[in-house]
Chains A and B, each alone.
Chain A
Amino acid sequence: SQQGEEDPQALSIQEGENATMNCSYKTSINNLQWYRQNSGRGLVHLILIRSNEREKHSGRLRVTLDTSKKSSSLLITASRAADTASYFCATDAGSNYQLIWGAGTKLIIKP
């Protein structure tokens, strides 16, 4: 069962612009995580936000969480070519250590 759904499925922007991607989920959660996957590689953890937090920052990343709307957004500011990757959200609903993953947003940064 898929809990998280990312939107948009694909996003293409110019280098230097900001990129925003969204994740919606269906049930109450303990936390939500964002991961990045470069082509042909494993996933890399970016940031975790807990259900009692509304916003979190890490470098050029800003994550928000709206538990009333069951949604989260990931903002990457001043995008770079190296940000080209797929981005996934994963939710922890407290069910036996099982994270539920969305299908991802493919981000392309054009030079």
Chain B
Amino acid sequence: NAGVTQTPKFQVLKTGQSMTLQCAQDMNHEYMSWYRQDPGMGLRLIHYSVGAGITDQGEVPNGYNVSRSTTEDFPLRLLSAAPSQTSVYFCASSSPPIGEKLFFGSGTQLSVL
């Protein structure tokens, strides 16, 4: 099993550009989530999903969109990149009980110039 796979690993964008961060898991987990990690801060939840077709906002959802058309995939879309979105992004998933023992991808380091 590959676990949680994130692509790309690194990305540089110009302000105003859009892009999609990909996340896929092969563990049949119902719960998937996106976090951002900034220096000196804990992980902050962007969006999460408890199953296909179900998504909800986390703590910092502005500027990001998600969709969950399949159990396996949970892409994160940056609509119009801003320098404040420079961060490391992590996708995580878990099986029930939801939120216990998260499995993380290796992260995407995003720089917005």
Chain A residues with CB under 8 Å of chain B are 1-2, 4, 31, 33, 35, 40-45, 48, 88, 90, 92, 96-104
- The A-contacting residues of B in range 51-72, CB under 8 angstroms, are 56, 58-59
Closest chain A residue to B42 by CB distance? A101
Partner of A48, one of B40, B50, B101: B101
- The A-contacting residues of B in range 95-113, CB under 8 angstroms, are 98-107
Tell me, yes or no, whether B48 is within 8 Å of chain A by CB.
Answer: yes
Whether B42 contacts A98 by the Cβ 8 Å rule is: no
Closest chain B residue to A89 by CB distance? B42
Partner of B107, one of A4, A33, A42, A92: A42
Whether B45 contacts A33 by the Cβ 8 Å rule is: no
Q: Closest Cβ of chain A: how far from B6's Cβ, in Å?
A: 8
Q: Closest Cβ of chain A: how far from B5's Cβ, in Å?
A: 11
CA distance A99 to B40 in the complex (A): 18
CA distance A88 to B102 in the complex (A): 13
Q: Closest Cβ of chain A: how far from B26's Cβ, in Å?
A: 15
Whether B100 contacts A42 by the Cβ 8 Å rule is: no
Whether A102 contacts B42 by the Cβ 8 Å rule is: yes
Closest 6 CB pairs of A and B: A101-B42, A42-B104, A101-B43, A43-B104, A45-B101, A42-B106
Partner of B48, one of A35, A45, A97, A102: A97
In the bound complex, residues from chain A placing their C-beta under 8 Å from that of B50 are 97
- Contacts A48-B100, A104-B42 known; A98 to B59 CB distance under 8 Å? yes
- Contacts A98-B59, A101-B43, A102-B42 known; A43 to B90 CB distance under 8 Å? yes
Whether A42 contacts B42 by the Cβ 8 Å rule is: no
